[in-house]
Structure 1
């Protein structure tokens, strides 16, 4: 009995506990809402709403805009463009503002305009020759007959004091007899005069000494090499009769050589004595030699319009041989600093050079510049920029395409088309979403020739629309490949042609003259 009564009494207790927990939770929730500070509610209600895009733009074509997200014509995801609140600087007409996302997707890089020394390289050729300061010509001072020749061929190496030739000369015989007569008379004045005459006739000192000792006249006199070197211009053989003034041979010392190079008239002002040079030879690939400009000749070649330079190189190992051709690189450095920008930052057109200024906070503007000299990496700016300004050195063609629409100078159509076509090629290589079969490396189109530059093989054509590229009709500059007949292009001619994209330029690879009616019939 007691067990059943205790079970009946436990049920009301459990129900009471559950109801108490529910009522406690409700009371706690209500108290929290009542006691919560008003400022917290306001802070929650005033939380900034998510920023809404103004529109969406293709990452590789700023001209393509959409009011909703999606895909660009190239198959890439559109990028949202937000209101920048007008934070970027405004330089007037031509200023554009781009969101940071688009700037990052375009891969925009900037460089600072600064004063630096312009270092240019002049590539030319030269040829090895003898050091003329070490080239000795052998001439006799008497007439006679060559009785013995100790060197027999041009190019033979000789050492100093080595016998060269033996000569019989009646004049030398008479001079020796006069010297012996003066010795017999023991007349100092006659002895001195006779010895001076022998010296003037280039009789070797060894022969004079032997003559004093032996008191016998030598019929054949031996002459010796005055220096080390090789025989050059050997013009005698045994038995030849020679006279004073005739060249018997030359001896060139090849321990040091000259290299004579030439630079064009427009480059001559950049080269000075002491300018460093680098030389390479075809027959020794991989080897380079460092030297400097030793002398600049004072005259200009009237036919080639070039100035000759002289370079010096040591030749202890005998690598350099006269008349060898050499490739020369002259490293010139300007004395004065020049305002320089990277070469890739310059946008060159047919009638204007310009760059894209990076104004900061996503603002950009194309400005015209005047350029001067170039080197391998930089270009000199004469007008249009100031030191410290930032310019765009990568993706500047796309920014220029947008800025030029409202600038005070007209944008050439070739720049826009080159930018869009290059963007198409880059996009095809960088995304896996585009199938390789969709890329168009070349296109065939009809057009009317507007202008022709025969010397430069360039033509301007008012071409029709390109369906494959979804491009409208436009006037574009083309380069005509060497395999295409330039006579097909005359002002007003209507042609059908195929062009290819090579390094951002348009090359016409085939062309055919057309009648206007035929083109319209297609």
Structure 2
């Protein structure tokens, strides 16, 4: 047996096995006749290819079973492998994505389901995950105004609540003591005073000496070695760096106080969701730690740039927290509302085919015929997606099994492009240098 005859036998055996295995569920479009899934057999079998009355007249061409890019208008042999060309039927390509015809048996086997594109109301909303954090406008960092030593510490641990004006520590600073002496000298009008009384009093204030302490110094006519450090606001002490006997400088953050009666929630919003998002939009959160409770707030700020890696926009939300139930670093389920959008053309989101280079759906044309259509999608919520272009109200789209139909249509388009003028020369050039088998 010659090598050529052996190869022909192997190919014929493989095609026969395919027809026996998949013949009952094959696509009914004759356009698949040139694809690896195509067969040439009697149309009387259920589920096999049948002529599409809506398509232009088909023509007969000949293709190599091993190199489908080799297409001739008359019988012959493949210039690459030497195998005999096999007859196939090709319909002229009039669409970018040719329609695919399926028998009712195949539709049932694939579980093809459809839905109608319709106009209606679509509520604009974004669901995302957020993180509770401090409101940075309600954080106070307590630093000394002069270098000195912590003489007494009234706080013992982080997390203690404090009130505005509450003494946190007392410390001694030589510069503050010197400023007190200048204040007393200026007040008495002594010749040794370097500045007048008002300037001396302002200097003490700039050194964070409280007004009541300045009044006591003035009343007692003597300086104080220890100056109190007081809480600038109501809140929770979230950081303590000062310890008794510790030497501190102007750069030392002795305490940090946070007002948790209002908190921020930071979220990341995808690029395609930010069209209607703006400050003031209402928002709602739920946290796993407080089941059954919700908090109402609003969008406070949209950050100026997107994250280059995640392609998301950072958004800041603000929520009142009077009972301090929301704790920093809690995770929160967030929903941001944008109001209703009326007269929207919408379809089930499961009908969309998103490949990264195109967004499409498969439209049902009736009589078992289906065709992929490129669309532009918009807002998406609760399993429904807005369609900006590509469909009309009343169009029926496939919601289950559309990926197989889309793949078959693209495969058919690829084979038909190979049959166009010039395709053969390009294919031959691509295979130049390959020897025959």
The TM-score range, normalised by the shorter chain, is 0.5 to 0.7
For residues 297-344 of structure 1, the C-alpha deviation after alignment (integer angstroms, 9 at most, x for no partner) is: 113334544322111111111111112222223345687864223447
Partner of 2:362: 354
User: How many angstroms apart in 1 are the aligned matches of 2:354 and 2:334?
Assistant: 32
User: How many angstroms apart in 1 are the aligned matches of 2:299 and 2:162?
Assistant: 30
The answer as to whether partners of 1:280 and 1:328 remain within 8 angstroms in 2 is: yes
User: How many angstroms apart in 2 are the aligned matches of 1:338 and 1:249?
Assistant: 55
For residues 228-276 of structure 1, the C-alpha deviation after alignment (integer angstroms, 9 at most, x for no partner) is: 0011221110101111232111110010011112234454445332333
Q: Does 1:295 align with 2:306?
A: no
The answer as to whether partners of 1:151 and 1:165 remain within 8 angstroms in 2 is: yes
Q: CA separation of 1:191/1:240 partners in 2, compared to 1, >3 Å: closer, same or farther?
A: same
Which entry has the higher C-alpha Rg, 1 or 2? Answer: 1
Partner of 1:312: 318
Partner of 1:177: 181
Q: CA separation of 1:285/1:115 partners in 2, compared to 1, >3 Å: closer, same or farther?
A: closer
TM-score in terms of structure 2 length: 0.58
The answer as to whether partners of 1:367 and 1:384 remain within 8 angstroms in 2 is: no
The answer as to whether partners of 2:117 and 2:346 remain within 8 angstroms in 1 is: no
Q: Does 1:281 align with 2:287?
A: yes
Which of structures 1 and 2 has the larger relative contact order (alpha carbons within 8 angstroms, sep 6+)? Answer: 2
RMSD of Structure 2 on Structure 1 (CA):
4.0
User: How many angstroms apart in 2 are the aligned matches of 1:246 and 1:381?
Assistant: 58
The answer as to whether partners of 2:124 and 2:341 remain within 8 angstroms in 1 is: no
User: How many angstroms apart in 1 are the aligned matches of 2:311 and 2:385?
Assistant: 26
Q: CA separation of 1:186/1:312 partners in 2, compared to 1, >3 Å: closer, same or farther?
A: same
Q: Does 1:148 align with 2:152?
A: yes
- Mind listing any 5+ residue stretches in structure 1 that lack a counterpart? 1-62, 64-90, 97-107, 402-409, 416-449, 451-522
1:55-454 superposed matches below 5 A: 113-114=118-119, 116-117=121-122, 119-123=124-128, 125-185=129-189, 190-269=196-275, 271-332=277-338, 338-343=344-349, 346=351, 353-356=361-364, 368-371=372-375, 372-373=377-378, 374-386=380-392, 389-391=393-395, 411=405
The answer as to whether partners of 1:121 and 1:376 remain within 8 angstroms in 2 is: no
Q: CA separation of 1:341/1:325 partners in 2, compared to 1, >3 Å: closer, same or farther?
A: closer
The answer as to whether partners of 2:160 and 2:237 remain within 8 angstroms in 1 is: yes
In the TM superposition, residue 154 of structure 1 has moved relative to its aligned partner by 1.3
Partner of 1:490: none
- Mind listing any 5+ residue stretches in structure 2 that lack a counterpart? 1-27, 29-52, 56-98, 102-112, 412-437
**Please, which moves more after superposition, 205-214 or 258-267?**
258-267
The answer as to whether partners of 1:118 and 1:333 remain within 8 angstroms in 2 is: yes
Count the aligned residue pairs: 298
In the TM superposition, residue 368 of structure 1 has moved relative to its aligned partner by 4.6
User: How many angstroms apart in 1 are the aligned matches of 2:211 and 2:146?
Assistant: 17
TM-score in terms of structure 1 length: 0.49
User: How many angstroms apart in 1 are the aligned matches of 2:134 and 2:262?
Assistant: 8
Partner of 2:417: none
SS in 2 for 1:354: strand
The answer as to whether partners of 1:122 and 1:329 remain within 8 angstroms in 2 is: yes
